[in-house]
Amino acid sequence: MTDAEAETVFRKVRWAETNGEPVCPSCGGVDAYDCRRPNGASRFRCRACQKDFSVTSGTLFASHKLPLRGYLAAIAIFCNEVKGKSMLAMSRDLGLSYKAAFVLCHKMREAMAEEMKGRTIGGEGKIAEVDGGYFGGYVKPANRKENCIDRRLLENQNGKRKSVIIIRERNGNSLPAVFGTEGAALAWIKSRIVDGTVVNADEAVSWNGLHSRFEMKRINPVLWRKRHNTGTVEHRILPVDLMLRFEVAGIGGSPVTIQSRGDAPVLHGNVFHRNPP
């Protein structure tokens, strides 16, 4: 990709409403002309307020030093790495220093978090699903019977265990958050799911507080896993399946998956059925 092609992509993303035509960030004027810098860098001048701006003005890439195609490559690498990307690997891929790659990726994380502020899930007639999983805080004990203790008990934990909560709208957006316990997330869940949404969740007592606000449908994940732990990965039961796969992966098992051939699973009673009886 050339610099001109990268600039065209940035313009269409930044000013999608005007199909890439520049919009002044100071006054909002749409009458701007190309006024490039002596080195050829992109710059526009607004005819209304006479202020200069570029395609990255007011964004996390403002006053950038890298060429625009380098930032597009960074976004693609950062978003496509399912298990995360180390900054050493990112610095090698982009030809940057470790510090530059570290700062750049933190800027992208901050932009992604800012985009989710105030986002709500669901609506009248829509379905949202909620689940949580506990991760971290486990200290591997020595392999001696006399020293074995129950790490599930609070007094035997190191305090680092957290619960990752995910709200997912069917065929829509997802919202993740981290809390100390699943019960501590109820207020956040109520603030992010729109009234009238049907909420699916497992049978954990943590979600009982949602019944007062939403129509609830509960699932027994153990029975569901026994019925549907077959086939290739073609369809997943959103956050419930996600947490089950995390748990199974943690003990060295294979992912929990089900196979779908167009007939989407539905809730019936306490168990997911492919076709309701």
> Are 275 and 248 in contact, with CB atoms under 8 Å apart?
no
Dist. CA 57–CA 67, nearest whole Å: 15
pLDDT in tens, 146-175: 777 777 777 777 778 888 899 988 888 888
End-to-end CA distance of the chain: 54
Q: What is the pTM of this model?
A: 0.47
Tens digit of each residue's pLDDT (9 = 90 or more) over 89-146: 999 988 989 999 999 889 888 888 887 888 888 888 898 888 888 877 766 666 777 7
Which strands sit side by side in the sheet containing 215-219, from one edge to the other?
174-179, 162-169, 127-135, 198-202, 215-219
What is the structure's pLDDT at 243? Answer: 54
Percent of the chain residues topping a pLDDT of 70: 78
Written as six digits, the tokens of 3 are 């610099």
pLDDT(51) > 50: yes
Selection from 157, 165, 172 nearest residue 204 by Cα = 165
